[in-house]
Amino acid sequence: MTSHTTDVPDTTTQRAAAPAPGKPRRRLPARGTRRPGSRALLAPAPVLLMVVVALTDLFTPDWLHVSPAMAAVPVLAAALLPWRATAVLACAVLVITGLLQWDAGSYGRPDSDVTLGSLFVVGLASLAACSLRQRRERQLHQIRSVAETAQRALMHPLPHRIGSLALSGVYLPAESEARIGGDFYEALRTPYGTRIVIGDVRGKGLEAVGASATLLGAFRELAYREPSLTRVAEQLDERARRHIATLDRAPDADGPDDVGTAALFTERFATALLVEFPPGEPVARIVHCGHPEPYVVHAGEARPHLPARPGAPLGLGDLLGTEPVAQTLPFVPGDRLVLYTDGFIEGRDRRGRFHDLAAPVQAHAGRPLEAMVAALRRGLVHHVHGDLDDDAALVVLERLPGEDDRCA
């Protein structure tokens, strides 16, 4: 009921942690999306095509020759089958075509020689294409393996349970063929209770991944060190500004290190939401740092938790001159807290309409935790028809009766 799920670029949601606008679109599993097993189902197609062409050529008049259509067989095999199978089919095409010409009495004539020569050239080209395809597939497999390793190092799997909290989450990266992106989350059991962060780095590619790693590393240190959650937010803002300054500082820069100006001109920042569950208290403390407001589910009713005074995004604190403020709300057994990044509310359908997260949160509030997370994921994928153009992360927490959240 409380397992953690993370999406990966194949077909299913798995229990493995992963971790902005303008990213390349990525096709997600949805109704009508072809599964990886489709190639295995299509593998017999070249052989069936060869048989159909051969039988058609046998049973048509002598003046109608369809054997040149055999050229499609090695081409199709190059897209679906390994190199050796493609080579066997390319040879079989030559042999069968020659036999068909012998049967029709046209073997040895100039037009027949041209047909056989063309099939030979097409076969060689198909073998070259098949070899290139297999090499690219091996490279992609290696890249995915590296991405999975980086993913596990960057974002730790969410625990099933921390004290009296049950957790479940999902991560949908938008970057093509990627398993990590600019969204991040973490949940830690500290001396000050369970502390959770969810955030979204503005930007894309390796730069966003680097910023995510910086902020996650800082949170893992600060969550154990700082008694105050607002102090954790302030320190994260400082780390973000330092990271921005490092990226923007030219090698020969002699001027002052104006990190606020750097953030303004480069528009590098991250939104974040910090949540703390103090030990022995049925409450939750929330610090908003420019992040979308969470949903609180109480007695089956879901409502957004709007901050009384929104905080600045991480990296823009000194520029906007606002200090983070912690708000406390009741959080008793049975209550749930839905944290998410803007990918869950900014996904558009084919008519350009944004995804409405509030309705599915309310509709699935009474379901088991894992089922609720799976339903929210399916709702987003269905709304965007599988075309996700921004990373999307979601973490749902539920207060259970039992032990408190103090650090073991």
Tens digit of each residue's pLDDT (9 = 90 or more) over 351-370: 888 988 999 999 999 999 99
Provide the token pair at 389: 């153009």
- Domain assignment present for residue 272? The answer is yes
pLDDT value for 149: 66
- Domain assignment present for residue 20? The answer is no
Q: Is residue 73 domain-shared with residue 211, that is, in the same domain?
A: no
- Domain assignment present for residue 230? The answer is yes
Q: Into how many domains does the chain fold?
A: 2
Q: Is residue 90 domain-shared with residue 223, that is, in the same domain?
A: no
Contacts of 69 (CB under 8 A, 6+ apart): 53
Q: Is residue 173 domain-shared with residue 103, that is, in the same domain?
A: no
pLDDT value for 151: 64
Nearest to 155 by CA among 347, 341, 388: 341
pLDDT value for 203: 66
Last residue in a domain, options 113, 145, 177: 145
pLDDT value for 347: 84
Tens digit of each residue's pLDDT (9 = 90 or more) over 153-209: 677 788 989 989 999 998 887 654 455 567 889 999 999 999 999 998 876 666 777
Tens digit of each residue's pLDDT (9 = 90 or more) over 220-231: 999 999 999 999
Count of Cβ atoms closer than 10 Å to residue 341 Cβ: 31
Q: Is residue 313 domain-shared with residue 172, that is, in the same domain?
A: yes
Q: Is residue 163 domain-shared with residue 250, that is, in the same domain?
A: yes
Q: How far apart are CA 173 and CA 181, in angstroms?
A: 6
Q: Is residue 209 domain-shared with residue 127, that is, in the same domain?
A: no
Q: Is residue 330 domain-shared with residue 386, that is, in the same domain?
A: yes
Last residue in a domain, options 126, 145, 164: 145
- Domain assignment present for residue 388? The answer is yes
Q: Is residue 108 domain-shared with residue 219, that is, in the same domain?
A: no
Q: What is the end-to-end Cα distance of the chain in Å, rounded?
A: 23
Last residue in a domain, options 89, 118, 145: 145
Pair type for strands 326-330 and 283-289 = antiparallel
pLDDT value for 194: 95
- Domain assignment present for residue 342? The answer is yes
Q: Is residue 55 domain-shared with residue 188, that is, in the same domain?
A: no
- Domain assignment present for residue 98? The answer is yes
Contact 304, 291 (CB under 8 A): no
pLDDT value for 7: 42
Helices and strands: H and E segment counts in the chain: 12, 15
Contacts of 139 (CB under 8 A, 6+ apart): none
- Domain assignment present for residue 245? The answer is yes
- Domain assignment present for residue 233? The answer is yes
Q: How far apart are CA 346 and CA 389, in angstroms?
A: 9
pLDDT value for 23: 40
Contacts of 152 (CB under 8 A, 6+ apart): 16, 17
| CATH code assigned at 320 | 3.60.40.10
Q: Is residue 238 domain-shared with residue 277, that is, in the same domain?
A: yes
Backbone angles phi, psi at 98, to 5 degrees: -60, -40
Q: Is residue 345 domain-shared with residue 296, that is, in the same domain?
A: yes
pLDDT value for 148: 64
What are the residue ranges in the chain where pLDDT is below 50? 1-36, 176-177, 250, 252-266, 408
Q: Is residue 129 domain-shared with residue 161, that is, in the same domain?
A: no
Count of Cβ atoms closer than 10 Å to residue 143 Cβ: 13
pLDDT value for 104: 77
Ordered alpha helix ranges (H), 59-82: 72-80
* Ramachandran area for residue 337 (φ above 0: left; ψ -120 to 50: alpha; else beta): beta
Domain housing 89: 38-145
Sign of CA dihedral 220, 222, 225, 227: negative
